[in-house]
Structure 1
Amino acid sequence: MALPPSFKQAHKEDLEAIVQILVKIANRPAQQIKPHLDTMLEQLLEPEERPFYETATPQEWVSAFREWVESHRGLNLPPLSDEAISRESIYGERG
């Protein structure tokens, strides 16, 4: 996402002041500073994507879970035996 020209125009003086301060601090020419400043501003102005768990509907949760289950079906793993999942084998002497 590039900074819109309207943003650059609306904040032209502020952006130039920031560039001049960074030129002094970094001891580099403005041509080297501007691309980094643009990239940083793009990241700051870009709306953050909210995580799935905050935005998903119950149906989306169900769908995602089913997709996850299906993604494991092709692994061709042997099933666990009854002995492997017995209470005794899981808890041992703590039973």
Structure 2
Amino acid sequence: MDLPGDRKGRRDRLIGALARTIARGAAEDRRGELDTWRTSGLDWTLIRVPRLLDGDDHARKIVLDAHVPPRATTLHRATLAHALVHVAEGREHVGQAPFAADASN
């Protein structure tokens, strides 16, 4: 999903175009999800993630950036879970759809 202000490189634009071609319905659903949140009147944060992996998170830190996708193409689910708790407890990403990345990559 592309949002105003995104600074995606060539690789990410290509992956996005491929995903929209192969999984058109899913891409349309994501856009509809974002539109629903934006017009809901609720506080929301929609995390954009790379491919998720199983396994331990090894206490890794996560980076959330509203406009720049991560260089890494994977993220451990446990690391994402920690980040979701952090986001739910704070207000710094309300009304945003930041990219998530493992800070150690």
TM-score by length of 2: 0.24
RCO greater where, 1 or 2, for CA within 8 Å and sep 6 or more? 2
Which protein has the bigger strand share? 2
Which protein has the bigger helix share? 1
TM-score by length of 1: 0.26
| Higher gyration radius (CA) | 1
